[in-house]
Amino acid sequence: MGMTITEKVLARAARRDRVAPGELISARVDVVLGNDITAPLAIREFRKIGVDRVFDPERVILVPDHFVPNKDIQSAEQAKEMRDFAREQGLTNYFEIGRMGIEHCLLPEQGLVGPGDVVIGADSHTCTYGALGAFATGVGSTDLAAAMALGETWFKVPASIKFIYEGELPEWVGGKDLILHTIGDIGVEGALYQAMEFTGPAIENLSMDGRFTMANMAIEAGAKNGIIAPDGRTIEYVRGRAQRPYEIFQSDPDAEYARVITYDVSQIEPQVAFPHSPDNTRPVTEAGQVEIDQVVIGSCTNGRLEDLRLAARVLMRHRVHKNVRLIVIPGTQEIYRRAMDEGLLAVFIRAGGAVSTPTCGPCLGGHMGVLARGERAVATTNRNFVGRMGHPESEVYLANPAVAAASAILGRIAHPNEVT
């Protein structure tokens, strides 16, 4: 019996010929990642272990991105704790304001994650890197501390679900819509502690930015990881970026899957996830008349250059509705610079939007766009739980950047075709 790509990556990291679902293994990690919420706790636990140095100062990566620029004294203290630790340990990859970005946009851009890697991060959306053919998953801060010291951690090998996306994507439909449709189909526990392996012609034709979006939201279906086997598009992306050698893995034709699920993407419309769950999805044409107060375009899910281009395409020659606040947050400094050079930021500003420095900000209700009681937001983020972006009586609707931009113009949830 063959192995899936997830099993092959884990077998390499465990120094074994093969692994099988359900096995407990100890595996080397290629990247250990922390942010300004999770890293301070991990640093304190690391100091209790009794070791003086991290296992590899090039592979422990710290990115303050959730509450930066610091919104208050507590967040400033957390960032300082990270900064001091990075200097003490001589970490090569510590990214400060002005050079940083949202971690899951930044690491692929900087070539710090590659195909075949095992990546753990004390952030649930670490699964983003599966778009490169890596095994990437979130862990707790104490597990992060141990990995910082040892360079390895334990896993239970997940079973895999194979998702096959056939057909051609309609206009305005992208990775965000595919993953929202999938989560809406299988539910938020539909892939609990399993690997979501995304395959098929539509995936082969999907851009890297779209693939990152899909892998990013695997956790919203309860998955241990999301993964896409590397192809020519992947190699083109990592060529010139990768800072370490990488290894390509593919699933065997006779690999065993827990389930195989097939979708015809030509039948999928732009999707909207209604409150208060990512699986409460419906086509945008069935959204009805939902008036909104705010639109957020950004996050580790949809803050990449392609996302900003799509939003600008819709907003061109339009103004944001008088009752709506539009907040645009590029995922990294590089994305910000390129968006500026291409004139995208000018489109947002002329339309009446506000453009932020890279930060997670409102995605987790941190800052830069917290909602008041009774307010509604359309967001390109990944979660819409109760109180996720502010007051427990506010509402968040998840959508792709084109839907978000159209909604900002009309003051209600809208299809891009209504304004283009």
* Cβ neighbours of 345 (radius 10 Å): 19
Which run of H or of E encompasses 259? strand 259-264
Q: Which of 140, 36, 147, 49 is nearest to 85 (CA)?
A: 36
Q: Where are the beta strands (DSSP E) in 151-258?
A: 152-156, 159-166, 194-199, 225-227
- Tens of pLDDT, residue by residue over 355-383, are 999 999 999 999 999 999 999 999 999 99
**Model pLDDT, residue 136:** 98
Give the model's pLDDT for residue 74.
Answer: 95
Strand order in the sheet with 60-63: 60-63, 31-35, 118-121, 135-138
CATH architecture type of domain 273-418: 2-Layer Sandwich (3.30)
- Domain-by-domain residue ranges, the chain? 5-263, 273-418
What is the SS3 assignment for 243?
A: coil
Mean pLDDT in the chain?
97
Question: What's the confidence (pLDDT) of residue 308?
Answer: 98
Convert the pLDDT of each residue in 400-411 to its tens digit.
999 999 999 999
Distance, in Å, from the CA atom of 98 to the CA atom of 95, rounded to the nearest integer, reads: 8
Place of tokens 């991290």: 54
Helix (H) or strand (E) run with residue 398 in it: strand 395-398
What does the pLDDT look like over 174-223, one tens digit per residue?
999 999 999 999 999 999 999 999 999 999 999 999 999 999 999 999 99
- Of the candidates 39, 47, 40, the residue with the CA atom closest to the CA atom of residue 149: 47
Does domain 5-263 match CATH 3.40.50.450? no
User: What pLDDT score does 1 carry?
Assistant: 84
CA quadruple 213, 216, 218, 221: dihedral, nearest 10:
-90
The burial of 416, by beta-carbon neighbours within 10 Å (0-12 exposed, 13-18 middle, 19 or more buried), is given as: buried
Cis peptide before 401 (omega within 30 of 0): no
At 238-264, the pLDDT tens digits run 998 999 999 999 999 999 999 999 999
pLDDT for residue 7 is more than 90? yes
228 HSE (CA, 13 A, CB side): 34
Domains 5-263 and 273-418 share a fold: yes
Where does the pLDDT of residue 70 fall: very low under 50, low under 70, confident under 90, or very high at 90 and above?
Answer: very high
Model confidence pLDDT, tens digit, residues 119-175: 999 999 999 999 999 999 999 999 999 999 999 999 999 999 999 999 999 999 999
State the Cα–Cα distance between residues 386 and 79, nearest whole angstrom: 27
The answer to whether the CB of 270 falls within 8 A of the CB of 177 is yes
